[in-house]
Structures are given as structure tokens and as C-alpha cells.
Amino acid sequence: MLELVLLLTLGLFVCQLLLLVYLYTTKTWAIKKENAANRLYHELFPDYLSYLTGDTDIEPMLPKNDELKQKVLERILSGFTNIMTDSAGRARIQQSAEAHLATIYRKKLKSSNWSKRMNALYLIEDFMMHSLREDVKEHLHSITIIDEEYRQTLRILASFQEESLLEYMFSRPNMSIGLIKEILRRLPLSFLTDIMVVLKKDEDDVPYAIRQAFIDYCGESGYYEFLPFIEYMLTHQSKETRIKALKSLHQYQYCSNPTIIVPFFTSEHWEERLHAAKLTGMMKLTEFSDYLILLAGDRVWWVRFQACEALKKMTDGEILLAYLSEQHEDMYAKDMAKQTLTMRAGGQV
């Protein structure tokens, strides 16, 4: 019995010793590879700086080992991606990445390791590796879970101006507004125009989220080409869509015909009355001051507040507010006018 215990103890000791040796060897090898990568990075950086900035047309030689080449080149190119603004320099980043990393990333997209696939996807977009367009499209159709991998794959296709992406989006009613806006920010003006045309002609065939995201993005981007469309959306049957359009006009800080917002001053929906007042103040539409005076006595506090804030922005705003604080027939309007007059920057009284 004692011999058996001794044998088991010895066996455990040997196993622990072998494990320690394995860990030590693995760690030593990892440090050795990291040191080699660091040395090579510092050796190649000056030459790559000259190459990417156009001082020389000769690209530096890279190691044949794929792992070492990937680690060093990714570090170099990533460092330049965010600071290189001229088209020639960015083109050289793309050429280097496609020449040396495309095969590596193509394999990683098929890896069972999620983090490896994600790393490859982020860098494919950073380096604008158009040669992997078809691989990315294929990868999209292989994804079964709606997660960051799915979202990043769509971002890449948008950055690559993939024509089939619009049809794909139109067939996915469950895409979030946030993701759609990320895609829209990467699309060229011609694609955005195509979306607008479809929304005007075949709106029923377009998911609700795309319509809402597109209206949002028009104001965010400030494209005046889409201003008539936003103004057209003010007549939409959906309250949510009309409110989105009003918010978009806030970002434009302009509308071609201010009278189109007049119906909203007397809307049955307080949100529309609020946004009409806000837009009036933002654009300093003094011709609508009477409507603001009316809304200063609105039954909803937020509308009263926004109406008085809008009045304050007018040339004679403080005079009007002083008059309201004394003469308005509504006691709530009087109180709001007084509060607005005494309000300092930052919302403090």
C-alpha cells in the first residue's frame, strides 16, 4: 500500500515537473518570437516610412515566415492607417496589405476561432483590402448569429461600396437603426440617392428601420441633396416618421419653405408641437412668434419650455417674454416666461 502511495506521489511530481517545463518552454519561445518581431519592426519602420510617404518606390523586404510577417506588417500599417491622409499613401498601405496579408486573412476568415476572424475583419476594413471582397461576401452568408462579427462584415461591404448590399438590407427587416446608420455613413452619395428613390417610390418594400435611419442620417450628414426628401417626409402618415423629419431639419438648421412647419404648431401630438417650436427658434423665424406665444401656454410643460426658449432667441425675444410674463392669459405661460427670462447659460436661474 505504501509503495502504491509513493508511486502515485512520484507520478504527480513528474507530471507537475513536465507541466512546468512545458510552460517555461512555451513562455520562453513566445518571448523569443516577440523579441524577434520587435527587432524586425524597428529595422523595417524607417524603410517603410520612406516607402509609404513616397520617398522611395522600393518596398522593404519582409520575412518569409507568415506569422512573423503578419505581426510586423500589421503593426507598421496600422500605425500609418490613422495618420496617412493622402491618397497615394493610403493606396500603398492597401497594396502592401493585399500583397502580403490577403492569403493569411482569407484563411483566418474560415478559422473556427472567433477572435481570429474578428481581427482579420477589422484589419480588412482598415487596410481597405478590396481583393477580399468576394471572401467577405461569402463570409456574410456563413454567419448564423447576429453579433459583432455580422455587423463588422456589413460595415466592410459598405466601405467597399458593394452593390448587392442595398438589396441585402432591404430584405432584412430586423436590422437595427444603429447598424443601418453605421452602414449609411460608409456609403457613397450615389448609393444614398438610390435608397431615397426607393423610399419615395416603393416605400412599402423598405423596412421601417431603414426609413427612420435614413431620415436621421440625412440631417446628420448635412447633404442638402436630400433636404427636399426630408421636407416631403413631414407629410408622412406615421407620426414617428414626421418627428424624425423634424429632428433632421434641426440638424440642417434650414428648410426651403418655413410655412411647411405651420401645421405642427397646432398638432394633436405634443412632440410635434415641441419640435416645431424648437425649429422656429433655431431658424429665428420671427414671423411665427405668434405661434410661439400660443404654445407658451401649452398644456405640456416641455412644449411651454421650448416655446419660451425659442422666443428668447428672437431679436425682440426678451421684450416678448417680458410682455408674456405680465400679460399672458395663461398662468403657466406667465411662470414659464419669467423663468426663461431669469435663466442663465447652463440652465441655472
DSSP state of 62: -
- Taking residues 61-77, report their average pLDDT: 84
Place of cell 424624425: 244
Cell of 123: 484589419
Residue type, 316: D
**How many Cβ atoms are within 10 Å of 109's Cβ, its own excluded?**
18
Residue 273 pLDDT class (50, 70, 90 cuts): very high
Q: Residue 231 pLDDT more than 90?
A: yes
In this structure, which amino acid lies at residue 17?
L
- At residue 40, the pLDDT reads 81
pLDDT-derived band at 348, boundaries 50, 70, 90: very low
In angstroms, the CA 156 to CA 161 distance is 9
**Does the pTM of the predicted model rise above 0.75?**
yes
Q: What is the pLDDT, as a whole number, of residue 334?
A: 86
Residue 298 burial (CB < 10 Å; 0-12/13-18/19+)? Answer: buried
Most confident segment among 9-23, 44-58, 172-186? 172-186
Give residue 316's pLDDT: 87
Over residues 44-53, the mean pLDDT reads: 82
Q: What is the mean pLDDT of residues 47-68?
A: 82
Confidence grade of residue 50 (pLDDT, cut at 50, 70, 90): confident
CB within 8 A of 22, min separation 6: which ones? none
Burial of 81 (0-12, 13-18, 19+ CB in 10 A): middle
Q: Which of 45-59, 310-324, 331-345 has maximum average pLDDT?
A: 310-324
Alpha helices in the chain (DSSP H): 2-52, 66-81, 87-100, 102-108, 114-126, 133-142, 148-159, 164-170, 177-184, 189-201, 208-221, 227-233, 239-252, 270-283, 289-295, 301-312, 317-327, 331-342
pLDDT, residue 307, reads: 94
For residue 71, give the nearest of 110, 104, 95, 48 by alpha carbon.
Answer: 104
Over residues 209-226, mean pLDDT:
94
Check whether 349 has a pLDDT greater than 50.
no
- Which pLDDT does position 347 carry in this prediction? 46
Given a cut of 60, whether residue 221 has pLDDT beyond it is: yes
Give residue-wise pLDDT tens across range 98-138: 999 999 999 999 999 999 999 999 999 999 999 999 999 99
Mean of pLDDT over the chain? 87
**Alpha-carbon distances, residue 144 vs 57, 135, 151, 271, 319 (angstroms):** 44, 16, 12, 39, 63
User: What's residue 47's pLDDT?
Assistant: 82
pLDDT of residue 345: 37
Dihedral, CA of residue 137, residue 142, residue 146 and residue 150, to nearest 10: -30
Distances (CA, A) of 160 to 29, 70, 129, 163: 39, 23, 9, 9
Give the pLDDT band (50/70/90) at residue 76.
confident
Task: Indicate the angle between helix axes 239-252 and 270-283, nearest 10 degrees.
Answer: 10
Cell of 300: 405640456
Inter-CA distances, 85 with 82, 92, 139, 237, Å: 8, 12, 30, 45
Distance between CA atoms of 116 and 121, rounded to whole angstroms?
Answer: 9
At 143, is the pLDDT very low, low, confident or very high (cuts 50, 70, 90)?
Answer: very high
Is residue 325 packed enough to be buried (19+ CB in 10 Å), middle (13-18) or exposed (0-12)?
buried
Q: Taking the alpha carbons of 122, 125, 131, 136 in that order, is the dihedral positive or negative?
A: positive
Comparing CA positions, the residue from 322, 326, 328 lying closest to residue 342 is 322
Residue 3 confidence (pLDDT): 67
Q: What is the pLDDT of residues 247-268, one digit of tens each?
A: 999 999 999 999 999 999 999 9
How many whole angstroms separate alpha carbon 283 and alpha carbon 259?
Answer: 12
User: Can you give the pLDDT at residue 26?
Assistant: 61
**Residue predicted with more confidence, 46 or 247:** 247
Instruction: Grade residue 38 by pLDDT with cuts at 50, 70 and 90.
Output: confident
pLDDT digits (tens, 9 = 90+) for 81-98: 877 778 888 889 899 999
pLDDT at position 181, please? 96
Tens of pLDDT, residues 315-341: 888 888 998 888 788 888 888 888 888
Q: Record the cell numbers describing residue 122, joined without a space.
A: 477589422
pLDDT of 4 strictly over 90:
no
